């Protein structure tokens, strides 16, 4: 019988059957802070029984652009206490959380300037929970790398009104960004204007199939999704967005960005009108609906139907 005990296979892979987790042509590493044997050392992390203790250390063991995967074990807990506390600076890696529901890995931002920086290209982060344990965490993810994907990266506010002001900021270099299948819940407003997702001169960015249930600071400058400067080929589609709070007048503002905004379902406070819930001058906008109260009823087309020539 052939023995496979020395192979660095993904956790849960089956020889001769279906592969439960994605196969990697590169290195496979495991991170799990709750495992008694977990520690950060160069000879650790090759099996789930002897995992690394932190994601950032695991990133440092990866090689760029060979398909390395970091599997983060169920129940893993890690705190980001400083700017760049986790920094994805190795291109082409995937960080995949294992586990379901609240047993997924939990990453906690614990200071106002705490950030997870993604500066390398083609990084994927999947199936983890994010949260703030500090009142007024300024920004969770700072993205400057091209081709970044965040898939199923959820946010849940912790008890005690410990809010985040912004979840992600993507700069000019962060083209081909994808944010999908995420669910974000924050029932208490921050103490200053909030912009949950900000894109700055990106191209080919996609924000699709997410659910955002957020109470925002009462200010006309609080906005759920904004293009701070013109973006190209932007796609914002099939999102459910509740952006609640007094004084707020917009849910999305894409300025002169090009692309398409379609099939989004939105709700907000009394000052939000269907005509102004989404603003922009160059993107195609189709089949978005909005309500400005929680009474039983269907939303209005936002903005109103345009002319067809």
DSSP 148-188: -EEEEEEEEPBTTTB-BS-SEEE-TT-TT-EEES-EEEE-S
DSSP 268-286: E-TT--TTTSEE-SSSEEE
Element (H, E) at 239: none
CB atoms near residue 258 (< 10 Å): 16
Tell me if 50 is assigned to some domain. no
Tell me if 52 is assigned to some domain. no
Partners of 195 in the β-ladder: 223
pLDDT of residue 96: 98
Please list the alpha-helical segments (H only) found in the chain: 55-60
pLDDT of residue 163: 87
pLDDT of residue 16: 39
pLDDT of residue 2: 33
pLDDT of residue 158: 77
- Which domain, by its residues, includes 225? 68-301
Residue closest to 205 by CA, chosen among 173, 250, 182: 173
pLDDT of residue 11: 45
- Report the number of distinct structural domains present in the chain: 1
Tell me if 31 is assigned to some domain. no
* Contact present, 127 and 104 (Cβ < 8 Å): yes
Per the listing, tokens 């609240």 go with: 102
**Token digits of residue 194:** 């909030």
pLDDT of residue 228: 86
Tell me if 51 is assigned to some domain. no
Tell me if 76 is assigned to some domain. yes
Tell me if 198 is assigned to some domain. yes
Tell me if 77 is assigned to some domain. yes
Tell me if 213 is assigned to some domain. yes
CB atoms near residue 216 (< 10 Å): 28
Digit-by-digit pLDDT tens for the chain (309 residues) are 333 333 455 544 443 344 456 666 789 999 999 999 999 999 999 999 999 999 999 999 999 999 999 999 999 999 999 999 999 999 999 999 999 999 999 999 999 999 999 999 999 999 999 999 998 899 999 999 999 999 999 999 877 768 899 999 999 999 999 999 999 999 999 999 999 999 999 999 999 999 999 999 999 999 999 998 999 999 999 999 999 999 999 999 999 999 999 999 999 988 998 888 999 999 999 999 999 887 777 888 998 887 666
pLDDT of residue 303: 85
Q: Tell me the C-alpha distance between 239 and 221, whole Å.
A: 21
């Amino acid at each position: 019988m052939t023995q496979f005990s020395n192979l660095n296979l993904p956790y849960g892979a089956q020889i001769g059957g279906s592969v439960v987790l994605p196969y990697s042509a590169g290195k496979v590493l495991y991170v799990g802070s709750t495992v008694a044997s977990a520690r950060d050392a160069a000879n650790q992390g090759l099996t789930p029984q002897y995992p690394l203790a932190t994601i950032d250390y695991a990133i440092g063991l990866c090689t760029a652009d060979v398909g390395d995967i970091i599997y983060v074990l169920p129940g893993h807990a890690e705190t980001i206490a400083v700017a760049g506390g986790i920094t994805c600076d190795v291109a082409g890696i995937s960080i995949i959380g294992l586990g379901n529901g609240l047993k997924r890995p939990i990453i906690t931002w614990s200071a106002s300037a705490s950030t997870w920086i993604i500066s390398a290209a083609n990084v994927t982060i999947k199936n983890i929970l994010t949260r703030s344990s500090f009142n007024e965490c300024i920004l969770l993810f700072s993205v400057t790398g091209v081709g970044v994907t965040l898939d199923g990266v959820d946010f849940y506010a912790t008890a005690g009104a410990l809010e985040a002001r912004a979840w992600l900021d993507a700069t000019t270099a962060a083209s081909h960004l994808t944010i999908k299948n995420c669910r974000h819940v924050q029932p208490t407003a921050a103490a200053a204007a909030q912009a949950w997702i900000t894109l700055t001169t990106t191209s080919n960015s996609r924000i699709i199939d997410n659910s955002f249930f957020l109470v925002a600071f009462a200010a006309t400058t609080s906005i759920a999704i904004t293009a701070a400067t013109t973006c190209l080929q932007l796609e914002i589609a099939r999102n459910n967005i509740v952006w609640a709070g007094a004084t707020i007048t917009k849910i999305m503002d894409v300025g002169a960005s090009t692309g398409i905004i379609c099939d989004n379902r939105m709700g907000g406070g009394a000052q939000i009108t269907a005509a102004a819930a989404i603003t922009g001058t160059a993107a195609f906008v189709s089949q978005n609906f909005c309500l400005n109260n929680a009474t039983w009823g269907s939303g209005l087309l936002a903005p109103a139907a345009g002319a067809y020539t």
